[in-house]
Chains A and B, each alone.
Chain A
Amino acid sequence: MDHTVVIPPDAQLAPLLRAYDRAVAAKHRQFFIGLAFMAGAFALACIGAEIDPGLFWEKLGNFTSYFNRLAHLDTGAVVLSDPAEWFWGLRRWTRLLGETLLMAYVGTVTGAVLAFCGCFLCSRNLVSSALLRIVIRRIFEICRTVPDIVFAMIFVAAFGLGALPGVMAIAIHTTGALGKLFSEVVENIDMKPVEGIAASGGSWVSQVRFGAVPQVLSNFASYAVLRFEINVRGAAVLGFVGAGGIGEELIVAIRKFFYSDVSAILVMIVVCVMLIDTLSEKLRHRLLAMDERP
């Protein structure tokens, strides 16, 4: 015998294997039903989205040539050979990028403050009125389901072109997104401190201020910073619909085939977003490690 495991006679082994196969077969069947379903959905979606692999192959050359053109100045030189010419609009683009960051900042702060005010009012453990909770929850839901750029289009019609509609769109979308996250944090707090404050005669506001806020503050700040990061990306494209920031410059450059401008602006956006990502990640780690100091 060169096996350490003794192989039992077939009569004994067969039922065991069969039972195993049956169990596995059930799983496999489920898997294949899922797969078939996916394949069907895939085919349907291909028709829906007018997918044309032939076109893709045919145009794939365009893709490389497009990036090739992005990498060259009008003169035909490679962009890196003449950075001053490539970034000829540096001052203007920096100003627009700064404007974009400010839009994201004002929108995030406004939205975070509104979400902060609303989140305690829609938390089951702090508010007993179901009506109030549901109303606020619905408002948050609508605010976050409608994409910010749709709000921006509507606000451009009302407020005219400029940063104002963009800021408002970001603020509203942020209110909805943060409101949901905030209220989830609030619903998971330890209620003992809140009860302690209530028992010593604190008003509802005091119960929230001293019982709930210290527990949630670092989490809230971390979520708000994350949201700022997302909003910077969002603000960069709000200009597509005339709502301020660097987006307007970018869409004009793309539409008018100013290739080197497109690549220059894209590089600036990417660097800026990456910088903010890194900073915000550091900040969030510090925030979560820190708690409210007296």
Chain B
Amino acid sequence: MPDVPVQIVACPNGPLLVRGEIEIRTPDGARVPQRRRTVALCRCGKSTIKPFCDGTHKAIGFVTEPEGDA
């Protein structure tokens, strides 16, 4: 497959949706297992499975500023 840049979608009021080959690491460098090709990274700070989103942003009413087309 030709090199396609990683795509990140900033979901309104929700996570960052990441498509493409990435490597997620903890602050001390350990690899975070990635179990699916497309992942949602928490940006509300309240997920119980950080760095991944678990939908908690909805329960806490997390709101983002509009970021153009989404």
Task: Indicate, yes or no, whether A interacts with B.
Answer: no
List the interface of chain B (C-beta within 8 A of A). Answer: none
